[in-house]
Structure 1
Amino acid sequence: MAAKDSSFYKPSEGRPQADRLREQEASLRMLLAKAIGTSVAVRAALAAAAVPPGSIALADLERLPLVRKEQLPSAQAQAPPFGGWLGRSVGELRRIFVSPGPIYDPEGHEPDYWGFAPALYAAGFRGGDLVMNTFSYHLTPAGAMFDGALAQLGCVTIPSGVGNLEIQVKTLLDLEVAG
């Protein structure tokens, strides 16, 4: 959990752009090397775009086709459960969400898996804040996405989900919820 005075900003954000780009390209190459070894869909996308993975640069990402949300149900039906995009075994996941489509969304065990904590920190959330999370916790990922990020910041989450308006208003007033 984060202390009230901790920062979720990376010190590298203040470095010169050329240094950041070098670090990002090195990270991209490392990530792709792993993904190529574990994801059939990543290998196919790189091959179709004629992008050489060993020497890929950030500018090369423009050549890769976007995977649109509406494409996922058919891709996942053809190569269950994640369309060939998952870079680990299903047994290594923490959760599988079901979004409309249906689209199966994997979640790993990493803290703040979805990377929301820096944005919530920038929005002013701090450790010890009481936060009412009104996103659904059933099947879809939004409730858990925010819950994980708030936990990483050290916030106290009230997992209210949707509905029960009267109870939610009373809770907001009784507990002096910050967000």
Structure 2
Amino acid sequence: MARALRPVGLDFAESAPVRLVFTAAAVAAPEAVYRALAEDVAGWPRWFRAVSLARPTHGGAGREVRLRGGVRFQETIMAADPEQRYAYRVDETNAPGVQALLEEWRLTPAGSGTRIRWTFAAAGPAPFRLALTAARPGLGHSFRTAVRTLDGLLAGQSSDHQRP
């Protein structure tokens, strides 16, 4: 059963009771990574294995996301700063325990590629916070695998565009 979460602002990425922050490097340029994150929402299942469906809602101001295993999210886009940041707040979910959730993707040029920082900011009762903290290694692995997969897809697209 889906339920509404507490609305939070962008500052929640820094002030949440649980903040899981992960970083990874991509060979792809920030503009390509940003397009995949913010403009090709429906493409997320191709590179983020945990995601089974993603689609824009409300004319692009929101997203519907479904994870493998049945967890669903209705989200509001909080920041869409080209080549720099993409953030969204979960407004409604069927995930147990969570009271507030915001995710932020920060992109920083790194040589000819991109440094990607993903912040998973959440609030909930003590058992939820403990479970989320225990899930940190798995979330980190999922993130790093997603970035590697995305980077491979973007490299393939780049070479496709260079072919005559």
TM-score normalised by length of structure 1: 0.25
Quick one: higher RCO (CA 8 Å, sep 6+), 1 or 2? 2
More strand by share: 2
Bigger Rg over Cα: 1
More helix by share: 1
TM-score normalised by length of structure 2: 0.26
